[in-house]
Structure 1
C-alpha cells in the first residue's frame, strides 16, 4: 500500500459573496427556464409526443439525487461538486474519476448552448454563418467570467427575468391557441400520438433530458463562494430542482397541446415551428431573442462552474497546478481554467446537437451515481452504529436515487455508451500515468470551510 500524500498548500481563495436567492437564481440561469426547447423536437420524436411524461420521470429520478447532493454539500461545503464528494468519501482516485466524468458534461454544456445559439440566430439571420455567432458568444462569455462570479450572477439574474416574461406570454398565447382548436386531447402529452409504443421510448427521452437538470448540482460548485454554504447550498439545490422541473413539465405539456404530434421539419429547431403555430413570425422572433439570451446566460453559468471544477482539481495537483490552480490577481478568478474551457467550447463548431445532449447525460449519470453512493458511505458506512431513522433519512433516498439513475443508464444509446466509456478509459490511463501505475498516491488538499 502507498502512504497517503501530504496535503499541499495553495495560494488564494474564492470570495464568499452569494446569498440563497443568488444561488437559486444561479441554478435557474444554468438550467435555463427555456431549456425545454433545446431538445424538445428530438425528445418529442423519440417519445412519440410524450415529452412532458419524460420530464416527469426525469424529475422523479433527479429529485432523490438532488437530496443526495444537498446532504453532501452540507457535510463538505467545498468547490468541486461530485469530484470533491467522491474524493472525500472514497479516496482521491475515485474523486479523480468522478471529476473526469463531470468534465464530460460540464465541458460539453457550454458547447450545447453555443451550438443552439448558432442554430437559432443563423435561422433568423441566414446571411451570417452559424460559426460566426458561436465564436462571438464564446468570446463574450469568457470576458464576463474573467471579470468575476458577481458579474455572472448579476447579468444572469437579468436574463432569468427576461425568460420568465417570455414564459408568461407563451403560456397566455398557447392557452388562446388551444382554446381555438376544435378538439383538444388533454391526455396527449402523457399518452402520445401513437408513433412510439411502450415505455422504452419515454425512458430513452428521460435519459436525454438529464442534461436539463444539471443546474442543481452546478450550485454545489459555488460552495466556497456562498455566504452560508451549510445552510443555503442544500436549500438552493432542492428549490432549483423542483421549480425547474415543474416549469419544464408545464412548458412541454402546453407545447404538445398547442402543436399536437411529433413530426417536425427540423427537429433541432422544432421550437420555432411551435411558436409559429401559436402566434406567427413575430412571436418566433420574440422566442429567438429570449431563448438566445437564456442560452447565453447558461453558457455564462456553465463556464463558471466547470472552471471551478478545473480549479479544484488543479489545486489538488490532479491537473497541472500552474495552469488550473492559478487565480487572477486583479479579478480573483481562475483565469487559465476559464480560457481552457473557452478553447474546448470551439468544438461546438463541429459537433451536432443530438450527440452533445447524449454525452452530457452520460457524464451527468456517472456523477449522480457517485454522489448517491457517497451519501451512503459518508453518513452510514463510517464504522459507527446508526439508528434505523438514519437509514430512512439518508440511506433510503440515496438508494432510490442510485436505482433510478441506473434505470436511466439502461436507456442511453450504444454510441453514447461507447464514447462515454472511451472517455472514462482515457481518464483511467491518465490516472495511471499520474500515479506511476498506482505506485504513487494522488495528491490531496485539505479544504478549510472558514476560508473567505
Structure 2
C-alpha cells in the first residue's frame, strides 16, 4: 500500500560504515542505503538526468515485457502445456506478482539505477550483490539477444507480405537453426543502441510510440483471430497435466522479466519514491491481462499441436483464419516494432545496472562514464550493444530464453529476501510502498522463484553453473580488490 507523504530514504537509522576484517567480513559488507541514494546519478565525468515521470517509467516496463512471450516464445510453450498455456501465463504472472511487490517496495525505498543488485548490496552484502548483478547481466544481456533472434522471423514475414522478398535463411537465422549469421538480430540491437546514445528522454519517447503500436497490434490480432476460435481446440485442455503447465510456465517466465526494468531507471526518474512502485505494478497487471487474452484466442484458433517449431505463431494464425496475407503483414509490422521496443528497453536496463556496478568499483570505470551533453553512458552502451548483437547473431533462441529465465528467477528470489532483511534491520526507514503481509508475501515470492527454477532443464542449470563460476572468478580476481568499499577502508 502507498504511504502518503513518504519521504526520501535519506534519513532513519544509522548507516553502517565500511568495516575491516577477515575475508568473510569483507564479503558480507553492506553499502548503506544513504550512501547509495547520495551517489544517485553520479558517474565518471557527468551525471544521469532526471527526466521521466510515471507514464514514461510504466512504458519502459511494458516495453521491456510485452512482446517476448507472445511474439516469440509462445511457439515453444504451447507444445509443453497445450491449451493450458493460458494457466502457464497465469502461473508465471503470479510468480512475478509476488516479486513485483518486493521490487515495488525496494524501488521506492532505494531509488537507484542498480535494481536488485543495489538492493542486495544494501541488505545482503557485497558478494551476494555481485552474484545478483552477475545474474542481471545474464538476465538483461542475454534476453536482448534472445528477443533479437525472433525479430528476424517477423521481419521476413513483413518483407514477404509487402515486397515479396525475404532475407536468406543463412543470414536471418543463427547457427544451429539453419543459418550462418543472424543479420537482422544484429541490426535491431544496433538500432536500439542509436536511440540510447541520444539520451534517456529521447529513448523513452521512442519507446512510448513503439509500445502503443504493439498494443494496437495485439488487440488487432485478438479481434481478427477470434473469428477462427473453435471450442474443440480447448477440448483436451491439459494434455501434459500440471507438469506441462509448470514447465511451460518456467519458460514463459522469460516473458515477464521486463516488469523490473523501471527499477533500473531510479536515477533518471523525476519522483522515484512515488512513481517507481506505481510503474512496476501497473505494467505487470496490464501485461498479464493482455498475455492471457492473446494466448486464449491463439490456442482457440489453432490446434495446440500445430504450434511446435513456430517462432512467428501469431502471424501464421491470422493467415490460417482469414486466408489473406494482409492481416499477417499488419501483425508482422506490429511484432517488428514490439520486439524492437523490448530490445531497446532491456538494453537500457543492462547499461544502467553496469553503470551502478561500475560506480561501486566492481566492474571497470568505463561503464560509469557519462557523456556531458546527452547524460547517457555512451561507452557502456556501445560495449553492451556490440556484445549482445554478436550473441544474438550466433546463438539459438531456445537456449537463450531458458538461460535468461534462470538468471531472472535467481535475482528475483534475492529481492524477496532483501525485503525481509531490510524490514528487520531498518524498520524505521520511510517506505513509499509496503509489500502487503510481509514477510509472508516475500517468502512466497522466494519459494515460487525456487520452484520455477526447479522446472528448468539440466542444460540450463549447467549454463547457469558455468556462468556463476566465471562470475566468482571475476569477482575475486577483480571486483573485490577494486570495490569502492575496499578503497574506503585503506
Could you state the TM-score of these two structures normalised by the residue count of structure 2? 0.82
8 Å CA contact 2:233, 2:302 repeated in 1 = no
For residues 152 and 101 of structure 1, the distance between their equivalents in structure 2, rounded to whole angstroms, comes to 25
| Deviation of the 1:10 alpha carbon | 4.9
Asked whether the 8 Å contact 1:314–1:325 carries over to 2, the reply is yes
Following superposition, the deviation at residue 444 of structure 1 comes to 4.3
Is this contact kept in 1: 2:43–2:369, CA < 8 A? Answer: no
Per the alignment, residue 217 of structure 2 pairs with 166
The question of whether the paired residues in 1 share the 8 Å contact of 2:67 and 2:255 is answered with no
| Match of residue 13 from structure 1 | 47
Q: CA 1:220/1:200 → structure 2, altered by over 3 Å: closer, same or farther?
A: same
Do the aligned partners of residues 293 and 391 (structure 1) sit closer, same or farther apart at CA in structure 2, a change above 3 Å counting? closer
1:148 aligns with 2:199: yes
CA contact (8 A) 2:64 2:346 kept: yes
Please state if 1:78 is matched with 2:122. no
Match of 1:234 among 271, 277, 284: 277
Give unpaired runs (5+ residues) of structure 2. 1-20, 173-181, 429-433
Tell me, yes or no, if the aligned pair for 1:92 and 1:444 is still in contact at 8 Å.
Answer: no
Instruction: Note the aligned Cα RMSD (angstroms).
Output: 2.4
The verdict on how the C-alpha distance between 1:410 and 1:112 changes in structure 2, with shifts beyond 3 A counting, is: same
Q: How big is each residue's C-alpha offset from its partner over 1:207-245, in whole Å with a ceiling of 9 and x where there is no partner? A: 111111112111100011111111110111111111101
- For the 8 Å contact 2:119–2:418, the answer to whether it is kept is yes
> Secondary structure in 2 aligned to 1:126?
coil
Distance 1:119 1:242, change over 3 A: same
Corresponding residue number in structure 1 for 2:125: 91
The residue correspondences of 1:144-293 to structure 2 (distance < 5 A) are 144-178=195-229, 181=230, 184-185=231-232, 187-188=234-235, 191-192=237-238, 194=239, 196=240, 198-264=241-307, 266-279=309-322, 280-293=324-337
Q: What is the aligned counterpart of 2:188 among 137, 140, 161?
A: 137
Q: 2:426, 2:404 → 1: CA distance? A: 32
Question: Could you tell me which of 53, 56, 59 is aligned with 1:22?
Answer: 56
1:313 is aligned to 357
**1:359, 1:383 → 2: CA distance?**
36
> Partner of 2:303: helix, strand, or coil?
coil
Structure 1 residue 432 and structure 2 residue 459: aligned?
no
The alpha-carbon deviation at position 274 of structure 1 amounts to 1.6
Deviation for aligned residue 1:154: 0.8
Q: Secondary structure at the match of 2:438?
A: helix
Contiguous gaps of at least 5 residues in structure 1: 385-389, 446-452
Rounded Cα–Cα distance in structure 1 between residues aligned with 2:49 and 2:483: 27
Give the superposition deviation at 1:331: 1.2
Q: CA-to-partner distance for each residue in 1:33-64, whole Å, 9 max, x for gaps?
A: 57412111100011133211100111111111
1:300 corresponds to 2:341:
no
Q: Secondary structure at the match of 1:50?
A: helix
Distance 2:264 2:203 in 1: 14
Alpha-carbon distance in structure 1 between the residues aligned to 2:309 and 2:255: 20
Q: Does the residue aligned with 2:483 lie in a helix, a strand or coil?
A: coil
User: Comparing 3-12 with 134-143, which one deviates more in the overlay?
Assistant: 3-12
Sort the Cα spacing of 1:169 and 1:5 in 2 relative to 1 into closer, same or farther, 3 A: closer
Q: Residue 87 and residue 204 in structure 1: after superposition, are their counterparts in 2 closer, same or farther (change >3 A)?
A: same
Counterpart of 1:116? Answer: 150
* TM-fit CA distance, 1:289: 0.7
- 2:166 is matched with which residue? 126
Q: How does 1:22-41 map to 2 (within 5 A)?
A: 22-33=56-67, 35-41=69-75
Task: Find the aligned partners of 1:392 and 1:30 in 2 and give their Cα distance.
Answer: 26
* Maintained 8 Å contact 1:113/1:295: yes
User: What is the count of residue pairs matched by the alignment?
Assistant: 429
- Write out aligned runs for 1:373-412 (5 A): 373-382=417-426, 393-412=437-456
In structure 2, what is the Cα distance between the partners aligned to 1:412 and 1:78?
Answer: 31
Structure 2: how far apart are the matches of 1:417 and 1:30? Answer: 25
**Pick aligned residue for 2:457 from 413, 430, 449:** 413
**Aligned residue number for residue 449 of structure 1:** none
Q: TM-score, normalised by structure 1?
A: 0.89
In structure 2, C-alpha distance between the alignment counterparts of 1:229 and 1:164, rounded to whole Å: 26
Give the conservation status (yes or no) of the 8 Å contact 2:58–2:279: yes
Task: Name the CA distance, whole Å, in 1 between partners of 2:397 and 2:344.
Answer: 19
